Structure 1
Amino acid sequence: MSGSVLIAAGGTGGHISPGVALAEVLAEKISTFGFDAVYLHSLVRNKDNPDLLNPPCLVLWHNVPQLGGLRTLVYPLLFLYPFLKTILLFHKLKVKAVIGMGGYSSLPAILYAILFRKKLYLCEQNCVPGKITRIFAKFSEKIAFSFPLAEEYSITGKTIGNPIRKRVIPVTLNIRQNENLHEGKKNTVNVLVLGGSQGARQLNQMILKAMENPDIANKYKFRLLTGTSLYEETKRKSVGNAEIISYANDMKPNYEWANIVVARSGAGVLAECLVFGLPMILIPYPYAADNHQKENANYIESQGAAVTIHSTSEDPTRLVQILLGWKDHSEILREMGHTSLALSNVNAAYQTVSYFFH
């Protein structure tokens, strides 16, 4: 297949990051997969996204409007102009195949593939398929899943794993920080807290309250990645020895430092924690579309790599209970770490591209 392949990288980090991981593979081995060029297609507002600051290929920027609110009635008119620009550009670049990563911003590329009979492939990151996957599955050649779909959904595809960027992948695989944990108060357990790119006030406050327990404070060392907007607030409220960081462009050192991760349950964070063999305490974002974070967390918990807290409050009671239960039982963390690693797929990006084009 000559011509070019285009990756519609979505409007949020959860769609962008795996799209960039696929672009890395294609850019490196473009002729192997039968194309002349690879492009990323993303929203103008994502120009400052860390994954797109130094991309592996040319990024084509667009500004298709978001659907919803008062715009719904006039959306077709608002959509038409950027879509016509997309058609002309894609014709010029000889786009022959489109990989949709999900989200409304992938709509122009997907519609182009359907209308002009180009090959369409879809990637679904979550256990609950998004609207794009559900609507356009019947038009796609193949669909790659990051995790098994929740049982109420029956969409044909292959579960491969969430594509991970090269810069996040561990240099030495099979890193198991928890192998070196031993019983006793002198053996500190490192807990990495991730609230996502925008941060999560609930997680930050829950951790700070948990640290008020002296047994927790003595045994666990916390590192909070608060998100830029919540950094000052969290720093001000912190009274313990927690390490407060607003944002980290390079996540690898943080994962290598951690013994446990406390996080939301977006697909990207889950995939990255798995390749580092990390046990997780997952607190799903309760307002995520179709409650997909809940299903993601439930799947990882069902496999034995995580414990889930379903809560909308900052009450630390359950978190404290879990951490105290693990305090003198490092064998639990070791076993969860082994399970986590077994669920990972460090080669998901290459395997996804190979599945689509071989």
Structure 2
Amino acid sequence: MSKFVIACGGTGGHLSPGIALAEALVAHGHTVTLFISQKKVDTRLVEKYAHLSTKRVPGVPFSWRPDKHINFHLRQTQGLIFSLRFLRANRPDAIIGFGGFTNAGVVVAGRLLGIPVALHEANRVPGRAIRVLSRLAKRLYLPPGVRLPNVRGVLIRHTGLPVRTEIVRLPRDEARAQLGLDVGQRLLVVLGGSQGSANLNGWIEQNIPALTAEGVQIYCVTGLGKGSEGVREFRSRSGQSVKVQFESFSDRVGVLMSAADLVLSRAGAGTIAELVRCEAPAILIPYPFAADNHQAANALNFEQQGGGVVVAEQSLATLKQEVLDVIFNDWLLKKFRINLHRMSQENSIEIIVNDLQNLATGTMPARHMRHAPAPSNHESAA
């Protein structure tokens, strides 16, 4: 059996697929260590996975602001030293990175020590970490249809994002019973990503009276430190009691999405993969300041495949009517679910696990993988 290091900390969108892949590798008899960040969201998310080995690696996100830029280089150097020490002591057979600031040190350390590296990019626009580090990798996993220019000599496989095993579609009534919600009323679930969204939280607060008056119950995950928790009760036009529940963090994402008639969410790749797994129709509000505007590209692809609709941040004034139009349109919701079911058929975890086992043992890759072109003579001379 082989030993793997998975670098996946910093956001839920990086950590969740890392956990999913770690559990699959462990199930195949391998040993896995997760490299995570020192952020609170990482600590909270790994609490329920005590059976997985984790290491908190020094590092902070990249920034051009002078003080943060200096701190970025300082912390990344600390991360590199930490990684070199760990890799020398434990000598894994392969390293897998899911992007983000926890990747740099361990990927560079792995290359220096001759340990094969694989990288996974889930967004429709590859992030800075993947673009920079891809030249050090032997494997690169990209979303279907996505290309990464100027990558040479790396094996590329187009596949989706691993999703944790507990995130599965449940019968709607069963999911609502677990959450203590009414099975007869429409349910809007609001998710701001692992960091939460102050704008979406604010939009919900402003529109609670209008939505509950129409009999729409709401379950909003605000994000850590971005809102108070609790349950409020309102009355619909017909006099029914309608619940609005706020929670700062949820480790029951699959239950929430299964219970929902409609999900209102940011457009991170991890959230979209979970929406697809749970076949949950969604209105996506891409975060406009995401690096390289990657959430807009993610959302557009989701809409084009028929999983839901996209509303721009600057169009929040129209969002209430959009929510009401979609959540009461049974024909449209059914059509979205049919499309989501089609989208959910690929087993990304098995595809990646099988290939990583080959990478760790030096086995030749499967024929379905594509070699990026090697440098030409002119490029080599340059």
TM-score scaled to structure 2, two decimals? 0.78
Please give the alpha-carbon distance, in whole angstroms, between the structure 1 residues aligned to 2:73 and 2:172: 51
Q: Once the two structures are superposed, what CA deviation does each residue of 1:155-180 show, in whole Å capped at 9, x if it has no partner?
A: 6732321111122234x6xx688xxx
CA spacing shift, 1:80–1:48, aligned 2, 3 Å: closer
One-letter code of the match for 2:90?
Answer: L
The answer on whether the counterparts of 2:229 and 2:245 sit within 8 Å (CA) in structure 1 is no
Aligned-partner residue type, residue 109 of structure 2? Y
Q: What is the match of residue 246 of structure 2?
A: 245
Distance 2:326 2:71 in 1: 55
Which runs of no fewer than 5 residues in structure 2 stay unpaired? 174-182, 237-241, 359-382
Counterpart amino acid of 1:12?
T
What is the aligned counterpart of 1:258 among 252, 257, 260?
260
Task: Give the Cα–Cα distance (whole angstroms) in 1 for the partners of residues 78 and 219 of structure 2.
Answer: 46
User: How far is 1:114 from its partner?
Assistant: 1.5
Instruction: Tell me whether 1:86 sits opposite 2:80 in the alignment.
Output: no
Equivalent runs, 1:43-192 vs 2, <5 Å = 43-46=37-40, 48-68=43-63, 69=65, 70-73=67-70, 76=73, 78-146=75-143, 148-149=145-146, 157-170=156-169, 188-192=185-189
* Cα distance in structure 1, aligned partners of 2:128 and 2:301: 20
What are the Cα deviations for residues 185-220 of structure 1, in whole angstroms up to 9, with x where unaligned?
A: x96322111112332222123234444447x73253
CA distance in 2, matches of 1:304, 1:154: 32
Amino acid at match of 1:118: I
Deviation at 1:97, TM superposition (A): 0.9
Superposed CA deviations along residues 210-260 of structure 1, whole A, max 9, x for unmatched, are 44447x732532221222423339979989834222232222321221111
The equivalent of 2:362 in structure 1 is: none
Contact 1:274 1:344 in 2 (8 A): yes
CA separation in 2, counterparts of 1:235 and 1:154? 52
Give the whole-Å Cα distance in 1 for the aligned partners of 2:104 and 2:274: 27
| Structure 2 residue aligned with 1:181 | none
Is 1:19 aligned to residue 21 of structure 2? no
Unpaired segments ≥5 residues, structure 1: 32-36, 178-185
TM-score, normalised with respect to structure 1: 0.83
1:226 maps onto 2:222 in alignment? yes
Equivalent position amino acid for 1:39 in 2: T
The 1:206–1:103 alpha-carbon spacing in structure 2 relative to 1, beyond 3 Å, is same
CA separation of 1:331 and 1:195: change in aligned 2, threshold 3 A: same
Residue 199 of structure 1 is aligned with which of 196, 199, 215?
Answer: 196
Count residues in correspondence.
337
SS in 2 for 1:60: strand
Alignment root-mean-square deviation, CA: 3.0
Identical counterparts, % of pairs: 26
Letter in 1 for 2:347: N
Q: Secondary structure at the match of 2:189?
A: strand
**Distance in 2 between the 1:91 and 1:230 partners?**
41
Give 1:183's aligned residue.
Answer: none
Contact preservation (8 Å) 1:278, 1:341: no
Report how far residue 276 of structure 1 moved.
Answer: 1.3
Per the alignment, do residues 226 and 140 of structure 1 end up closer, same or farther by CA in structure 2, a change over 3 Å counting?
Answer: same
